[in-house]
Structures are given as structure tokens and as C-alpha cells.
Amino acid sequence: MRLNQQTMEKHKCLIIGSGPAGYTAAIYTSRANLKPVLYEGIQPGGQLTITAEVENFPGYPAGINGLQMMEDLKQQAQRFGAEVRSGIVTACDLSKNPFRFTIDGQKELIADTVIICTGASAKYLGLPDEAKYSGKGVSACATCDGFFYRRKPVAIVGGGDSACEEALYLAGLASKVYLIVRKNHLRASQIMQDRVLNHPKIEVLFNTNTLGLFGEEFVEGAHLVRFKGEPNEEKFDVAIDGLFLAIGHRPNSEAFKHYLPVDADGYIKTEWGTTRTAIPGVFAAGDVADPRYQQAVVAAAMGCVAAKEVEHYLNNIKI
């Protein structure tokens, strides 16, 4: 049964997503008495819940477990009255205000403003073998699945901070860690590079690409190529039980693309220095709108900015 707008649940501010951006937006909008409703999305707490140790969020001199940090942020938002609900926004209509949303394909509600904080998801290489061995040795989350590879050899693809962080985490469990890097250098921050390059269990394979995987039922090894397409190209195999992908993320903007301009990689476009999208009343914060920094502290700051902009927007239109 489709409800009409008079009888439909209505909110001043809907927040979609529960990473640092979403929860910070919820803290600020609830303190402004806007009674925000936040839907947690597919991964409650966002990507930080699968990060073992967050070392660079200001205020934690000894670092903090990512899951704990997100639980703290959630409690902080709830303390001021934010309503945190489990559920996924499966459809929306942003063509007119109030905006209309479908939750979990069933429930419908309307909202005067929305802050989109849906974050980003791990990218895969696109090899058929990734699908073939999914759950049988291929993973994009070392902290989730690393436990299964205790005292076994593994490989990680990527040369950024994520790949280095995962390599270091896995080095504490696995017998050997190959880091497969397509260029002749790492992209990660200097401190992470130093840790990886000096770790006795980690072997960095520079100028190397993954061609495929092999194994009876589970992954038993990877086919690799060094200097692909060069005169000195060299194909070789490594024996591994697990292949981890850490090659970046794609923004979770699919549900909104129909209404909002996105860049070539799918990041929601916002007015420079703000979280304002092309539609008044629709704001985007955190990794879904940040192709450049993708840091928890930046996402949190964007959540704060979005909340302030929602407040300003609602006051201006005198609701």
C-alpha cells in the first residue's frame, strides 16, 4: 500500500550512513534539536569497523580500535537524541521537496533535508578468478578474514595506506606476506612504507600485476607478471592461501546518481568548501563526496559542516 504524503512519516533531517560523517552529522543536528533519523546502511559503523587500529584520529594518543570508536560515536549521537535505525535506503525521489525515501524496499518516509554519508566500498581487480574463489581465499578485508590464514602465506594487492596497513596486520598472523604493487614505488604515507619495507615477513613485489589464481577448490597460488608489456616481462607464480584486495574504493552513490551530478569516478559533486549538492536541501559528506582525502577526521568534519548547513537551510526556509 502506498501512503500519501499527509500520512507518511516525516522528518526534518534524514542521515543516510553510519560512518564518522553520518554520526558526526547526527551529533550536531540532534544538538540543534532537529531530531535527526539516521539509517545505518549495509555496514553499520562503516569501514572503520573493519579497521583494527585507528592511529591518526586526533584525541587518541595510544590509538583506538575502529569498532570501538564507531560505537563511541554512535552512543554520542544517541545521547543527544539522534534516532539510529538499522536499514538501507533502497530508493529515493529527490525531484521535489520534501524528499521521499524507501527503506529496505518497503517502508516509505519523507524528509525536508537529507545528508548522504554512504561512504565507499572496496574495489576488486575484475578478474574472473576473484568471483571463482570468493570466500575460498579471496577477500577485501584483512581484519575480517585474516584469522583464517594463521601461519599460512598470503598476498595483498595494492600500494596505498590500506594495503600497507593490511600487510602489517596480516604479518602478525600469516607465515609470509607478499605485497603486490603494480608500480615501482608505494603510494602509502612514509611511516607506513617504512614499517612495511622493514618488516621481515613482508616481501614487496614491485612492478607486478596479478593475472589469475589457481587451486583445486580453495586458492593455492597466484599467477603474477613482472614488467607487464615490457621487453623484460617475466611471468611467475607464488604459493599463497589467500589473496587480499586493497586497491582503493568506489563511492556508494548509485542510489542518488539519477538526481545528483557525480564525477567520473562516481563521487557526488559538492560546491567547493561545502557539502551542498546540486539540489538545495540535499547534502553529501564523507567518502561518498571526497575523492581526495578519505580520512576519518575529514569525514567527521564534513559531517559537522553538513549539519550546520542543514540548520542554516531549514532556518532560511522557515520550516
304 as an active site residue: the answer is no
Contact pick of 100, 107, 132, 182 for ligand NDP (by CB under 6 A): 182
C-beta of 73 vs 196, nearer to ligand NDP: 196
Q: Which stretch binds ligand NDP (CB under 6 A): 35-43, 96-104, 141-149, 244-252?
A: 244-252
Half-sphere exposure of 164 (CA within 13 A, CB side): 18
Q: Is residue 291 a contact residue for ligand NDP (CB under 6 A)?
A: no
Q: Is residue 290 a contact residue for ligand NDP (CB under 6 A)?
A: no
Question: Do strands 282-284 and 138-139 pair parallel, antiparallel, or not at all (unpaired)?
Answer: unpaired
Residue partners of 85: CB distance under 8 A and separation at least 6: 37, 38, 39, 40, 103
Closest CA to 276 of 258, 302, 250, 252: 302
**131 exposure class (CB count in 10 Å sphere: 0-12, 13-18, 19+):** exposed
Residue closest to ligand NDP when measured from CB atoms: 160
Q: Is residue 187 a contact residue for ligand NDP (CB under 6 A)?
A: yes
Dihedral angle, C-alpha 35, 37, 40, 46, nearest 10 °: -40
Going residue by residue from 48 to 77, which x/- string records binding to ligand NDP, judged by CB under 6 A?
--------x---------------------
Active-site residue identified among 112, 129, 145, 287: 145
- Please report where in the chains the cell 586526533 appears, as a residue: 58
C-beta of 44 vs 248, nearer to ligand NDP: 248
164 as an active site residue: the answer is no
CB of 262 to ligand NDP, least distance (A): 18
Cis check: omega of the bond before 98, within 30 degrees of 0: yes
Closest CA to 295 of 168, 162, 196: 162
Contact pick of 87, 215, 248, 266 for ligand NDP (by CB under 6 A): 248
114 vs 100: CA distance, rounded Å: 10
Kind and range of the H or E element at 139?
strand 138-139
Q: How far is CA 58 from the centre of its chain?
A: 20
CB of 134 to ligand NDP, least distance (A): 17
Q: Which stretch binds ligand NDP (CB under 6 A): 86-94, 182-190, 263-271, 303-311?
A: 182-190
List, in sequence order, the alpha helices (H) in 41-127.
66-79
Q: Is residue 242 a contact residue for ligand NDP (CB under 6 A)?
A: no
- Please report where in the chains the cell 533531517 appears, as a residue: 13
13 as an active site residue: the answer is no
Active-site residue identified among 72, 104, 144, 194: 144
CB of 153 to ligand NDP, least distance (A): 19
C-beta of 46 vs 159, nearer to ligand NDP: 159
Residue partners of 93: CB distance under 8 A and separation at least 6: 99, 100, 101
C-beta of 94 vs 213, nearer to ligand NDP: 213
Q: Which stretch binds ligand NDP (CB under 6 A): 83-91, 181-189, 195-203, 222-230?
A: 181-189
Contact pick of 44, 81, 87, 160 for ligand NDP (by CB under 6 A): 160
Applying CB under 6 A, the residues found at the interface with ligand NDP are 56, 125, 157-163, 165, 182-183, 187, 246-249, 294
Residues annotated as catalytic are: 141, 144-145
